[in-house]
Amino acid sequence: MSELVPGGNLPLPGGSVTVRVPGPFDVSALVTDDSGKVRGDADFVFYNQPSAPGARLQGDTLTVDPPRLRPGATRVTVVVSPADPGTPLGRLPAPALHVTDSGGRPIARFAPPRPREETVLLLPELYRRGGGWKLRALGQGYADGLAGLARDFGVDVIEDATPAPAHRTPVTPTPTVPSMPAARPTMHTLAGVGVPHIPSPDPDGFLGLVNSARAGAGSPPVTLDARLASAARAHAGAMASAGRLGVEGPDGVSVYQRISAAGYVYVTVGEHLVSGPRTPSEFVSYCLRTDRPRRILHDSSFTHAALAHVTSGRSGDTFWTALWARPLTPGDLARTATEVVDLTNRERVRAGLRPLAVDTALGTAAQAYSADMASRAFYSHTSPEGTQPWDRAAAAGSRMRTIGENIACGQRSPAEVMEGWMNSPGHRANILKRDFTHIGIGFAGGGPAGTYWTQLFGG
């Protein structure tokens, strides 16, 4: 496997290649010709338009099959931006690019210098040279964000100083001159290559019912989110086709993976999967009658929600999916890690041990591994490539002589994951090991389990 530096390049094998950028980022791609300019809407691949001829995006992973790209395409540029709109990339973990061939074998890794004020970063480009394709490491960013991207790739920016009403339908750009409303406040960061993010419509009055119930419990209101609505519709449809409730549909995709695929990166998530109610009012009434569904509906940590229902053609039963979430921000990620560290050190002090210090390299490795498990849907101390915790720590720059790792999945909070680890003898032993002096924490949402946690210890 090649470690690339900015400007470095290498030939690509025949067939498809996979480009992955784990972490709190949105990944997208622009397909261009020799001029470096986009030709139309179909040249954008992003969360709301995840496929184009020869390119497909799933979460943080882009698969490119060069021979299948549209006629005239000679370049695919991979773009990353913060999943949280407006956040400078410099406040996030440094993005790292992983490239594998069609058999899953590593080809290259590229970790550019940490960005500062940039909000959009071009990581690599795949380009045609003669009869083959190559990959070039870029690492170039735009301090002016979407405007810079638009300028260089030939996108026509439409200025609109007036925020669009929540119910307004975005205007589809013309095929020959894609439009990018760069200044619209409701725009999601990734909408720099696509569609403004607008709240989901509420034709059934679900939002009013929910927020009335939340107000009675002293919880702040939630707003509807179109990405969550898309995931809810897909999951309700999957359950209706199978004729049964389940976190995982008959297609093998979990409701959490549908949320990630829709482009919503979360720090906390909840769901109601129900059959029987005939109206949103009946659905909300059902949730309020039972303890756990009621706690989810009242949970003050959620800021967004969505509801969808699909009736099974075979049984006539209606299957409902309600999703609740709060988007991941750099502050949330830092607070989550800090809370896990504090709870860990509380247990160590209680046992008469010295608290652990936070280590940057261990944190980088732990965060990358949680994101990797979520995006590639595996759960193991050994990665699919065979790397172990000490390999990942060393690759992140750690010089610790002793390395230990705890992982967990499915827990919804730092308190919950710590409780699970302390109730497990092996995990508890790592937390209370006298030889450890430092710690790093990783957290990612998505995958079959919904959340993935990593504690990486060093000494």
**Which of these ranges, 137-141, 160-164, 393-397, 414-418, has the smallest mean pLDDT?**
160-164
Report the candidate in 320, 439, 448, 445 with the shortest Cα–Cα distance to residue 378: 448
Residue 99 has pLDDT above 70, yes or no: yes
Residue 457 has pLDDT above 70, yes or no: yes
Q: Are 123 and 115 in contact (CB under 8 A)?
A: no
Residue-level pLDDT at 338:
96
**Residue 10 pLDDT class (50, 70, 90 cuts):** confident
Q: What is the tens place of the pLDDT at every residue in 396-412?
A: 999 999 999 999 999 98
Question: What is the mean pLDDT of the segment spanning 238-263?
Answer: 88
Distance CA 326, CA 83 (A): 12
* Burial track 53-83 (b if 16+ CB lie within 10 A, e otherwise): ebbbbbbbbbbbebeebeeebbbbbbbbbbb
Q: Are 359 and 53 in contact (CB under 8 A)?
A: no
Residue 186 has pLDDT above 80, yes or no: no
Which carries the bigger pLDDT value, residue 34 or residue 116? 34
Alpha helices by DSSP H, 299-384: 330-350, 360-376
**Which of these ranges, 106-120, 122-136, 148-162, 440-454, has the smallest mean pLDDT?**
148-162
Q: What is the tens place of the pLDDT at every residue in 307-330?
A: 999 998 777 889 999 999 999 887
Instruction: State the pTM of this model.
Output: 0.57
Which carries the bigger pLDDT value, residue 154 or residue 391? 391
Residue 133 has pLDDT above 60, yes or no: yes
> Phi then psi for 340, rounded to 5 degrees?
-65, -40
Q: What is the tens place of the pLDDT at every residue in 261-271?
A: 888 889 999 99
Question: What is the mean pLDDT of the segment spanning 217-230?
Answer: 92
